[in-house]
């Protein structure tokens, strides 16, 4: 699988995938000719061949500068999309929308619905990822320190029947859940991508800023709050010179299909970020660690 949006200048980033009825739906970031960001959608019957199917319109004032980096989940027969505002620096925050058909979304009138408190970070929230953990909806996101230099991961939770408005969210901790520590992570951990397996919650993430290069790491938790790295090395490195992902393998998204198979979707660039593509690998878990399945 290798997907990009030709109409957007070979630009597709930040994938999120769900199975909805008899199709797979992928939501991703695209960039317009004026430099603003939006969220596109694509459809597939087999996870391999994808067809661009549209773009989510920007209809709220908080979206005026752009939207990006979607996270998606199917709850009670509807697709819930959590995504960030774009272009507002430390004021970027998480929005919510819901769809009956996976294409037409009703925006939450309270958008943006979440940003963290600014006592431990700058108050920013981007790169939304959601999962069900211990009967609650967990939201994981990237934020920055007060100097807007170090990117790190935070978390919050909401009741599944809450409607996911502003009052629904409680921070998992008034501190980062994962912050860059290893040399290859540079000053950035972003794009959390969670998936549960055998009583543990695995978080894949992008380490280092775009094309420096960003590579994918993994941490694991038994409570959804305290995460430890499974290795000091990247789980998925950037590609060899000349490969589609030679400049980056980044911004992961973990998806479990109905047959139990797990796929890690991610973005890549061959040219320092001029063009962007999406692909996936199949993964499994053994001995408390993820592994690639050929």
pLDDT in tens, 67-100: 999 999 999 999 999 999 999 999 999 999 999 9
When pLDDT is cut at 50, 70 and 90, the band that residue 232 belongs to is very high
| Contact criterion met (CB below 8 Å) for 281 and 263 | yes
State the Cα–Cα distance between residues 24 and 257, nearest whole angstrom: 9
Nearest alpha carbon to residue 17 among 292, 285, 294, 279: 279
Q: Is the pLDDT of residue 6 over 90?
A: no
Q: Is residue 41 part of a domain?
A: yes
Q: What angle do CA 175, 180, 182 make, to 5 degrees?
A: 145
Q: Is residue 134 part of a domain?
A: yes
| Class of residue 179 by CB neighbours under 10 A (exposed 0-12, middle 13-18, buried 19+) | middle
| Contact criterion met (CB below 8 Å) for 97 and 63 | no
Domain coverage including residue 218: 6-293
Q: Please count the other Cβ atoms lying within 10 Å of the Cβ belonging to residue 132.
A: 13
Q: What angle do CA 142, 145, 149 make, to 5 degrees?
A: 90
pLDDT in tens, 24-62: 999 999 999 889 999 999 999 999 999 999 999 999 999
Q: Is the pLDDT of residue 294 over 80?
A: no
Q: Tally the domains of the chain.
A: 1
Q: What CATH number is given to the structural domain containing 156?
A: 2.115.10.20
Q: Is the pLDDT of residue 5 over 80?
A: yes
State the Cα–Cα distance between residues 44 and 13, nearest whole angstrom: 17
pLDDT in tens, 145-194: 999 999 999 999 999 999 999 999 999 999 999 999 999 999 999 999 99
Residue with the two structure tokens 């070979």: 10
Q: Is residue 60 part of a domain?
A: yes
Average pLDDT estimate for 194-208: 98
pLDDT in tens, 213-228: 999 999 999 999 999 9
Q: Is residue 80 part of a domain?
A: yes
Q: Is residue 1 part of a domain?
A: no
pLDDT in tens, 260-275: 999 999 999 999 999 9
Nearest alpha carbon to residue 143 among 164, 173, 165: 173
Q: Is the pLDDT of residue 199 over 90?
A: yes
Q: Is residue 235 part of a domain?
A: yes
pTM for the complete prediction? Answer: 0.98
pLDDT for the residue numbered 140: 99
pLDDT for the residue numbered 273: 97
Give the three-state DSSP class for 14: strand
Q: Is residue 36 part of a domain?
A: yes
Q: Is residue 218 part of a domain?
A: yes
């Amino acid at each position: 699988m290798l997907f990009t949006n030709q109409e957007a200048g070979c630009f597709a980033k930040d994938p999120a995938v769900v199975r909805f009825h008899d199709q797979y739906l992928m939501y991703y970031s695209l960039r317009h000719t004026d430099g603003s960001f939006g969220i596109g959608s694509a459809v597939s019957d087999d996870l391999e061949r994808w067809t661009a199917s549209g773009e989510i319109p920007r209809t709220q004032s908080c979206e005026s500068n752009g939207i990006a980096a979607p996270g998606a989940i199917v709850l009670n027969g509807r697709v819930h999309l959590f995504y960030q505002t774009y272009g507002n620096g430390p004021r970027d925050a998480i929005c919510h929308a819901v769809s009956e058909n996976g294409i037409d979304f009703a925006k939450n009138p309270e958008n943006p619905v979440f940003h963290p408190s600014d006592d431990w970070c700058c108050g920013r929230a981007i790169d939304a990822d959601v999962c069900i953990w211990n009967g609650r909806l967990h939201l994981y996101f990237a934020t920055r320190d007060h100097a807007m230099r170090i990117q790190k991961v935070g978390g919050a939770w909401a009741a599944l029947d809450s409607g996911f408005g502003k009052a629904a969210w409680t921070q998992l901790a008034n501190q980062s859940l994962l912050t860059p520590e290893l040399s290859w992570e540079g000053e950035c951990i972003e794009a959390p991508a969670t998936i549960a397996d055998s009583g543990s919650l695995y978080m894949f993430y992008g380490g280092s800023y775009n094309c420096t290069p960003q590579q994918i790491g993994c941490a694991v938790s038994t409570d959804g709050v305290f995460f430890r790295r499974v290795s000091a090395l990247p789980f998925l490195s950037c590609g060899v010179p000349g490969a589609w992902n030679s400049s980056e393998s980044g911004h992961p998204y973990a998806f479990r299909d109905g047959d139990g198979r797990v796929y890690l979707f991610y973005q890549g660039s061959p040219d320092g970020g001029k063009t962007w593509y999406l692909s996936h690998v199949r993964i499994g878990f053994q001995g408390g660690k993820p592994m690639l399945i050929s």
